[in-house]
A and B are shown apart, each in its own frame.
Chain A
Amino acid sequence: MENRTHISVQDLNVHFRSEHVLKDINLSIPDRKITAIIGPSGCGKTTLLRSFNRLIDSTEGVRVSGRVLVDDENILDPKAEVTHIRKKMGLLLQKPYPLPMSIYDNVAYGPRIHGIRERRRLDEIVERFLKKASLWDEVRERLSQPASALSLGQQQRLCLARGLAVEPAIILGDEPTSALDPQSSQRIEATFTELKRDYTIVIVTHILRQARRLADHVIFLYLGELVEQGPAWDFFNNPKQPMTREYIKGLIS
């Protein structure tokens, strides 16, 4: 399974009512690397990310065409079963949304849904993934407390642990650090760098410096079109498109 792409997109088009939000997108996302989707706000980054796990379905007045292949399955196929597709991907949103339950139950929520009932196994899962999200030391004494009592940065790491607990192969993040203070952002970034050994990570960001720090692969969107994609080093040091050059220099935003 060397370098087989988990996610690839073919001729993806998305409309919101009359607005053409994503135009003929073709791309593939390398395994076990961090891919950054960058571009100015409103260019369709969130929409692209949400089409990977079909959360886009729940938007009012949306039309989607094309193919999104995850493990060679076209998930846009109306017959595709969404819950097992979503189980393959953990999702982080701009602002952390812990579920209205305890810290423990937040992490155990996914495994329980997928049929794990034994307390011992759940205990072990909760501990393992809280450690993976580097939150365990801060919460081990208060697992039964409401998740909403944690700080924003801790909540975001809890959301990461919650996503990891369903054992996905992919982590999706939609500007996952934008609501956090600099220190918390740094911890999340550090965790991502560690996790990329085992996971394929895709993050949306509009912070160029963050993309430079984290990304192995970059996808640049502008007004719904894919302008350029490629390995991060090439992208930042040797951009092929004039538009990319201007964006990197900060001339357009």
Chain B
Amino acid sequence: MDRRFAEERLFKGLMILATVLIISSLVLILLTVLLKGLPYMSLDMVTKTPQGGYYLGKGGGILNAILGSLYLAGGATLLAILFGLPVALYMNVFSRPGARFVGACRFSFDVLNGVPSIVFGAFGFTIMIFFAMRASLLGGIIAIALLILPMMVRSIDEVLRLVPHELLEASYALGATRWETALKVVVRQALPGILTAVLIAFGRGIGDAAAVIFTAGFTDSIPGSLLRPVATLPLAIFFQLGVPIPEVQGRAYASALILTILILIISLAARLLARRLTRHVVK
């Protein structure tokens, strides 16, 4: 009896330790960004592009990178939904039940999900060279879309798998086609979960540096065309951190803070939206 109690206590202790470790490292990261970045935060940071000598400590901001990141992650997320949602719907609604092919799809998406983002960057870069394309917003969008597609498909897939089969049958029984059932019933039932999946993919896209380093390039001006290079927040942070001037390094942390706040705002907005959308979901 004593041994079982000891075991119980040991495991409880380990779990608490793990939880504390994770939460405290999260808090530490946020605190570092906040403490180091806040003093360098200014209106200029979010409303101006880098002026001459910005990277030596002179005036300006990183509006170019903020907009660049939003365009890039937004475009990539849209592109990924455009391809990802049909794939997930195919795997769950259109395929023959129990088809091997679907299992193979799931497996390959899981493998792709584990591929480091620099590989997607390199792959995108190779394709761009093939088409004689220069680093650009479009190149970055494609690379990020490729990066986030596997995780988006798999998380939407998991949500769709939870839709009860009887719900589909109820729709078929009324004479609906698979297509109508997929769009009007399955997507509607799974909408909150789909939204969450899209949001997580967006967060990963906006935070990634390695996939855009060759494909999107970098520029000090505000993105104006799909075919011109764009700046991104992760790269802006990287470049500023590399400059041995305290003023510039401080702005790197301020940039990180901006990125964090952006992701926070988008998460909250999506949560609110998801809550509204659960109204009709059948339990």
Binding site for B on A (CB under 8 A): 53, 55, 58-61, 82-84, 86-87, 89-91, 93, 95, 97-102, 109-110, 113-114, 146-148, 159, 162-163, 166
- Which residues from 156 to 194 on chain B have a C-beta closer than 8 Å to any C-beta of chain A? 164-177, 180, 184-185, 188-189
Compute how far the CA of A146 lies from the CA of B280 in the bound complex, rounded to whole angstroms: 5
The count of residues in chain B whose C-beta lies closer than 8 Å to any C-beta of chain A is 26
Q: Which residues of A contact B3 (CB under 8 A)?
A: none
Beyond A86-B175, A90-B173, A91-B173, whether A58 also contacts B164 by CB under 8 A is no
Complex contact B170–A102 (CB within 8 A): no
Q: Which residues of B contact A99 (CB under 8 A)?
A: 167, 170-171, 184-185, 188, 282
Nearest to B186 among chain A residues (CB) is A100
Which one of B98, B167, B176, B180 lies within 8 Å of A97 (CB-CB)? B167
Q: Per-position contact with A for B91-105: 1 when CB-CB < 8 Å, else 0?
A: 000000110000000
Q: Which residues of A contact B184 (CB under 8 A)?
A: 99, 109
Q: Which residues of A contact B169 (CB under 8 A)?
A: 55, 58, 91, 93, 97
- Closest Cβ of chain A: how far from B243's Cβ, in Å? 53
Compute how far the CA of A166 lies from the CA of B171 in the bound complex, rounded to whole angstroms: 12
- Closest Cβ of chain A: how far from B245's Cβ, in Å? 56
Q: Does B281 contact A (CB under 8 A)?
A: yes
- Closest Cβ of chain A: how far from B4's Cβ, in Å? 41
Q: Which residues of A contact B276 (CB under 8 A)?
A: none
Q: Which residues of A contact B174 (CB under 8 A)?
A: 86-87, 109-110, 113, 162-163, 166
- Which residues from 50 to 103 on chain B have a C-beta closer than 8 Å to any C-beta of chain A? 97-98
Q: Which residues of A contact B279 (CB under 8 A)?
A: 146
Q: Does B283 contact A (CB under 8 A)?
A: yes
Q: Which residues of A contact B173 (CB under 8 A)?
A: 53, 55, 86, 89-91, 163
Q: Which residues of A contact B168 (CB under 8 A)?
A: 58
Q: Which residues of B contact A163 (CB under 8 A)?
A: 173-174
Compute how far the CA of A86 lies from the CA of B176 in the bound complex, rounded to whole angstroms: 9
Nearest to B190 among chain A residues (CB) is A100
Compute how far the CA of A61 lies from the CA of B100 in the bound complex, rounded to whole angstroms: 12
Nearest to A96 among chain B residues (CB) is B170
Nearest to A102 among chain B residues (CB) is B280
Complex contact A84–B175 (CB within 8 A): yes
Complex contact A83–B176 (CB within 8 A): yes
Q: Which residues of A contact B97 (CB under 8 A)?
A: 58-60
Q: Which residues of B contact A91 (CB under 8 A)?
A: 169-170, 173
Q: Which residues of B contact A113 (CB under 8 A)?
A: 174-176, 180
Compute how far the CA of A192 lies from the CA of B108 in the bound complex, rounded to whole angstroms: 51
Complex contact B98–A61 (CB within 8 A): yes
- Closest Cβ of chain B: how far from A51's Cβ, in Å? 13
Beyond A83-B175, A148-B283, whether A93 also contacts B166 by CB under 8 A is yes
Nearest to A101 among chain B residues (CB) is B280
Which one of A82, A89, A97, A109 lies within 8 Å of B164 (CB-CB)? A97
Q: Which residues of B contact A58 (CB under 8 A)?
A: 97, 165, 168-169, 172
5 pairs across A/B with beta carbons < 8 Å? A87-B174, A93-B169, A97-B164, A99-B282, A110-B175
Compute how far the CA of A91 lies from the CA of B280 in the bound complex, rounded to whole angstroms: 22
Compute how far the CA of A53 lies from the CA of B176 in the bound complex, rounded to whole angstroms: 13
Q: Which residues of B contact A90 (CB under 8 A)?
A: 173
- Closest Cβ of chain B: how far from A112's Cβ, in Å? 9
- Closest Cβ of chain A: how far from B216's Cβ, in Å? 39
Q: For A83, A89, A93, A99, which residue has the most chain B Cβ atoms within 10 angstroms?
A: A99
Q: For A109, A114, A147, A162, which residue has the most chain B Cβ atoms within 10 angstroms?
A: A109
